[in-house]
């Protein structure tokens, strides 16, 4: 049956009203394409407490902001934007609390935002009294749309706004020599600004601030709205980086938003293009579609063998705290931080991961190149057994075998894995749910291990037999106490080894048990010296069906007998 959807979809005809709103550099700026990866960590600046906070339905309380600030310090951020203190009493109080309670580590610089207005700049510096290190971040909008529609000012008038704020900031900073000030300027809406004009206004501000080695200037080039593909942004950054005055003493910073879903790519290509610094948030929180996700950018570097200079080892805790402070959820498929990012449900993926893990253990224990896993989950406090192989109706034999091996010590024979895999798929499919590792063990144990439904061996005694033509040198006689359909039977039999002798004895009491041995495997279930033995036996019935059984016992002989009985009970129940 099909659903009538007429009237629900109207066709994407609105695209005709859109036009390209960005500007390419006036000269070719594509040297960044010659680099294949970012080879060193940038300066990181967290804007979680400003950009991230202002995007929340319910902004953080003072206590939450203080706790979040401490988390950011623990992760290793050396620059943290704490707000717009002149625009909000809450942010002003937060900043004063940090300073007056001496909560800012000596190696951490706080950053504050200000517009180019005298009363705002004055209050901003008032909020910073007593701080040791601070970045004062000045911005004004420069794009064509902002100039024409919002401010209705010429380019010259927009430059005058920036120059006014730059001079005033310099004057106020000189009145507070006890503070180590650094200045930052952002041509807001940079991506919608003509590149020549963006360069002119940035250089005008730079000329006022006169950057020098002991007081460098930050020029922040935000993708306030993502308007282009990432390679265009990279070319814009390269053009600016190559043409800014006092470049040796200028730090080029990026602040990409995620309107097109490519903020991480903007960061990475922008760094290749000459940027030195990244502003962003944990997990990409921020206005509209959010900011650049610093966790992803940093971990991408890490996956290329580069130290990101941030400590993201306890990723589950970071995600938990982020959710607590923001009341937002980390998407389960969020790169690196999501709960399912290392999880493989697909059978082919599980099989490749399991084989890759074994290969690494055997051949390259100090290297990581496991299929489908770009980084070692242990590096971010994720657990292979719990997080990597997840079992549902899409899973295969390799995944189930891997779970039973890594979580419980079973080394399932290759020919047995497919049968177990189908069993677990069936249970998951019928129940429409994922199977926990505990559930997998429970199903496996009930179906295969130490089965005594109709037949059981309570005792067995053995003695060797002399060489014979039928049994060779391995002849063995078994006297057994067997339970057959609830009745105890004392039986004996001879065979080629203990297990064969038990089987022959049992057939005397139950002549309907017609089968042949197919294969036998055994191993220690635990690594300790007093570990239990585990045995796997496959038998083949007259109709050709192969049936497996598993036995566990402290004695390997009894483990093999229990495995045989499990197979018989499964085959003839």
- Percent composition of the chain: helix, strand, coil (DSSP 3-state, to 5): 45, 20, 35
Q: Using CA atoms, how far apart are residues 146 and 197, in angstroms rounded to an integer? A: 14
Structural contact between residues 72 and 53, judged by C-beta atoms closer than 8 angstroms: no
Distance, in Å, from the CA atom of 70 to the CA atom of 250, rounded to the nearest integer, reads 29
Determine the structural domain holding residue 320 and report its residue range: 31-326
Residue 468 pLDDT > 80, yes or no?
no
Identify whether residues 238 and 352 lie together within a single domain: no
Distance CA 204, CA 206 (A): 5
87 and 198 inside one domain: yes
DSSP-assigned letter for residue 136: E
Looking at per-residue confidence, does 469 or 555 come out higher? 555
**By the 8 A CB rule, do 460 and 480 touch?**
yes
pLDDT, tens digit, 9 for 90 and up, residues 65-118: 999 999 999 999 999 999 999 988 989 999 999 999 999 999 999 999 999 999
Between these two residues, 525 and 208, which has the higher pLDDT value?
Answer: 208
| Domain assignment of residue 54, yes or no | yes
Q: What CATH number is associated with residue 473?
A: 3.30.160.270
Report yes or no on 541 lying in a domain: yes
Give the pLDDT band of residue 290 (cuts 50, 70, 90): very high
**366 domain-assigned:** yes
Higher pLDDT, 254 or 498: 254
What pLDDT score was predicted for residue 389? 63
Instruction: Categorize the per-residue pLDDT at 377 as very low, low, confident or very high, splitting at 50, 70 and 90.
Output: very high
> Does residue 406 sit in the same domain as residue 309?
no
pLDDT of residue 344: 74
| DSSP string computed for 381-419 | T--IIIIIB-BSTT--HHHHHHHHHHHH-----HHHHHH
- Secondary structure E strands in 167-214: 180-188
Say yes or no: 158 and 47 in one domain: yes
pLDDT at 264 over 90: yes
Q: Are 397 and 417 in contact (CB under 8 A)?
A: yes
Q: At a CB cut-off of 8 Å and minimum separation 6, what does 409 contact?
A: 525, 526, 534
Q: Are 177 and 299 in a shared domain?
A: yes
Q: How far apart are CA 209 and CA 202, in angstroms?
A: 11
Say if residue 216's pLDDT is above 90: yes
* Confidence at residue 569, expressed as pLDDT on a 0 to 100 scale: 93
Query: pLDDT digit string (tens) for 193-207?
Result: 999 999 999 999 999
Please tell me the distance from the alpha carbon of residue 356 to that of residue 339, in angstroms, as a whole number.
22
pLDDT at 58 over 70: yes
Same domain, 311 and 390: no
Strand, coil or helix: 263: helix
For residues 520 and 567, give the distance between their C-alpha atoms in angstroms, rounded to a whole number: 11
**pLDDT of 385 strictly over 60:** no
Final residue belonging to a domain, choices 427, 448, 469: 448
Q: Is 18 contained in some domain?
A: no
The CATH number linked to 224 is 3.20.20.70
Give CA–CA dist 387/324, Å, rounded. 22
The number of folded domains in the chain is: 3
Residues 19-30: pLDDT tens digits?
A: 899 999 999 999
Is the domain of 295 the same as that of 434?
A: no
Percent of the chain with pLDDT strictly greater than 90: 71
Local confidence band at 16 (pLDDT 50, 70, 90 cut-offs) = confident
Clarify whether residues 465 and 442 are in a common domain: no
For range 161-181, the mean pLDDT = 97
Residue 282: name the closest of 305, 311, 239 by CA: 311
| Mean pLDDT, residues 206-214 taken together | 97
- Average pLDDT over every residue of 277-303: 97
Q: What is the pLDDT of residue 444?
A: 95
Please name the helix (run of DSSP H) or strand (run of DSSP E) that holds residue 552, with its range, or none: strand 546-553
CA distance 243 to 25: 11
Q: Is residue 3 part of a domain?
A: no
- In terms of pLDDT, which residue wins out, 392 or 342? 342
Both 442 and 475 in a single domain?
A: no
Q: What is the pLDDT of residues 320-366, one digit of tens each?
A: 999 999 999 999 999 999 988 887 777 788 788 888 888 998 998 99
In this prediction, residue 9 has a pLDDT band, given cuts at 50, 70 and 90, of: confident
Q: What's the whole-number mean pLDDT along residues 518-532? A: 84
Residue with tokens 């589950």: 316
Q: Which residue has the higher pLDDT, 237 or 349?
A: 237
- Domain presence at residue 136: yes
Are residue 369 and residue 402 in the same domain, yes or no?
A: yes
Among 326, 361, 377, identify where a domain stops. Answer: 326
Same domain, 497 and 548: yes
Q: What is the CA radius of gyration of the chain?
A: 35
At residue 529, the pLDDT reads 63
How much of the chain, in percent, has pLDDT values that exceed 70? 96
Judge if 395 and 515 occupy the same domain: no
Instruction: Let me know how many helices (H) and strands (E) the chain has, helices first.
Output: 17, 14
In a domain, 333, yes or no: no
- Name the residue among 233, 291, 217 with its Cα closest to residue 258: 291
Last residue of a domain, one of 421, 448, 475: 448
Check residue 525 and give its pLDDT. Answer: 87
pLDDT on residue 76: 98
Report pLDDT for 354. 81
User: What is the C-alpha to C-alpha distance for residues 237 and 242, in angstroms, rounded to an integer?
Assistant: 8
**What is the spatial order of strands in the sheet that 533-541 belongs to?**
515-524, 533-541, 546-553
SS3 252: strand
The answer to the question of residue 15 being in a domain is: no
The 10s digit of each residue's pLDDT in 406-451 is 888 999 998 999 899 889 888 888 888 888 889 989 999 999 999 9
Mean of per-residue pLDDT scores for the chain? 92
The pLDDT score that the predictor gives to residue 150 is: 94
């Amino acid at each position: 049956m099909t659903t009538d959807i007429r009237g629900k979809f109207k066709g994407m005809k609105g695209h005709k009203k859109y036009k390209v709103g960005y500007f390419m550099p006036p000269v070719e700026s594509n040297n960044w394409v010659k680099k294949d990866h970012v080879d060193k960590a940038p300066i990181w600046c967290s804007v979680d407490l400003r950009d991230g906070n202002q995007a929340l339905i319910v902004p953080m309380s003072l206590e939450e902001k203080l706790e979040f600030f401490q988390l950011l310090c623990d992760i290793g951020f050396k620059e943290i934007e704490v707000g717009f203190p002149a625009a909000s009493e809450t942010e002003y109080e937060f900043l004063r609390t940090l300073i007056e309670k001496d909560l800012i580590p000596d190696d951490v610089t706080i950053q504050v935002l200000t517009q180019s207005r005298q009363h705002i700049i004055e209050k901003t510096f008032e909020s910073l009294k007593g701080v040791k290190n601070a970045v004062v971040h000045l911005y004004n909008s420069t794009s064509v749309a902002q100039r024409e529609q919002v401010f209705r000012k010429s380019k010259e008038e927009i430059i005058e706004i920036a120059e006014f704020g730059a001079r005033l900031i310099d004057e106020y900073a000189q009145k507070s020599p006890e503070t180590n000030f650094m200045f930052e300027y952002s041509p807001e809406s940079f991506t919608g600004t003509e590149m020549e004009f963006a360069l002119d206004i940035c250089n005008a501000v730079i000329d006022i601030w006169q950057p020098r080695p002991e007081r460098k200037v930050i020029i922040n080039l935000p993708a306030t709205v993502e308007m282009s593909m990432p390679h265009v942004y990279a070319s814009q950054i390269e053009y600016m980086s190559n043409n800014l005055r006092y470049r040796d003493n200028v730090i080029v910073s990026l602040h990409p938003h995620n309107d097109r879903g490519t903020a991480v790519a903007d960061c990475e290509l922008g760094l290749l293009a000459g940027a030195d610094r990244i502003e962003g948030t944990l997990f990409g929180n921020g206005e509209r579609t959010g900011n650049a996700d610093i966790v992803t950018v940093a971990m991408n570097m890490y996956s290329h063998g580069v130290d990101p200079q941030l400590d993201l080892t306890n990723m589950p805790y970071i995600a938990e705290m982020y959710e607590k402070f923001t009341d937002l959820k980390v998407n389960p498929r969020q790169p690196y931080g999501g709960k399912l990012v290392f999880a493989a449900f697909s059978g082919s993926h599980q099989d490749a991961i399991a084989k890759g893990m074994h290969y690494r253990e055997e051949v390259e224990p100090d290297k990581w190149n496991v299929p489908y896993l770009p980084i070692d989950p242990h590096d971010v406090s994720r657990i292979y057994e719990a997080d990597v192989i997840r079992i549902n109706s899409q899973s295969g034999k390799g995944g189930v075998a891997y779970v039973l091996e890594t979580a419980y010590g079973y080394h399932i024979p290759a020919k047995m894995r497919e049968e177990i895999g189908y069993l677990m798929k069936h249970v998951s499919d019928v129940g429409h749910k994922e199977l926990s590792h505990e559930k997998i063990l429970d199903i496996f144990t009930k179906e295969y291990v130490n089965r005594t439904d109709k037949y059981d061996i309570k005792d067995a005694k053995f003695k060797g037999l002399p060489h014979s033509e039928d049994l060779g040198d391995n002849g063995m006689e078994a006297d057994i106490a067997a339970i057959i359909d609830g009745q105890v039977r004392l039986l004996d039999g001879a065979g080629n080894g203990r297990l064969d002798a038990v089987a022959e004895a049992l057939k005397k009491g139950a002549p309907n048990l017609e089968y042949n041995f197919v294969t036998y495997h055994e191993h220690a279930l635990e690594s300790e010296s007093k570990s239990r033995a585990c045995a796997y036996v496959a038998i083949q019935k007259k109709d050709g069906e192969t049936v497996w059984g598993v036995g566990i016992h402290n004695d390997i002989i009894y483990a093999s007998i229990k495995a045989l009985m499990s197979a018989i009970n499964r085959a003839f129940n």
